[in-house]
Amino acid sequence: MHHELFKAKYRPGCICKGIKLFKIKEAIYKGAKSFKEIAAQTGIGYGSCQSKRCGEKVRELLQKAKAE
């Protein structure tokens, strides 16, 4: 998991707002359980696409976190 988080620091999470994937994963790690909670902590979902790009990725990450 540590290596995965390192890579996430450089990968985009929300292109519109310039938020890295690491911030999204960090919010999930800290207990966020929904897109709305992650958006409140990170600022994703409020860019020009209104979560059309990042929304699906966040749903996948939430499902993966629930499975672990």
- CATH number for the domain including 14? 1.10.10.1100
| pLDDT tens string 35-47 | 999 999 999 988 8
Q: Could you tell me the pLDDT band of residue 1, with boundaries at 50, 70 and 90?
A: low
CA distance 47 to 14: 8
Q: Could you tell me the pLDDT band of residue 34, with boundaries at 50, 70 and 90?
A: very high
Bridge partner residues of 20 (DSSP):
12
Total domains in the fold of the chain: 1
Domain span including residue 18 = 2-67
Q: Could you tell me the pLDDT band of residue 65, with boundaries at 50, 70 and 90?
A: very high
**Measured between alpha carbons, how far is residue 52 from residues 5, 44, 48 in Å?**
23, 11, 9
- Which residues lie closer than 8 Å to 35 by C-beta, 6 or more apart? 45, 51, 55, 58, 59, 62
pTM for the full predicted model: 0.83
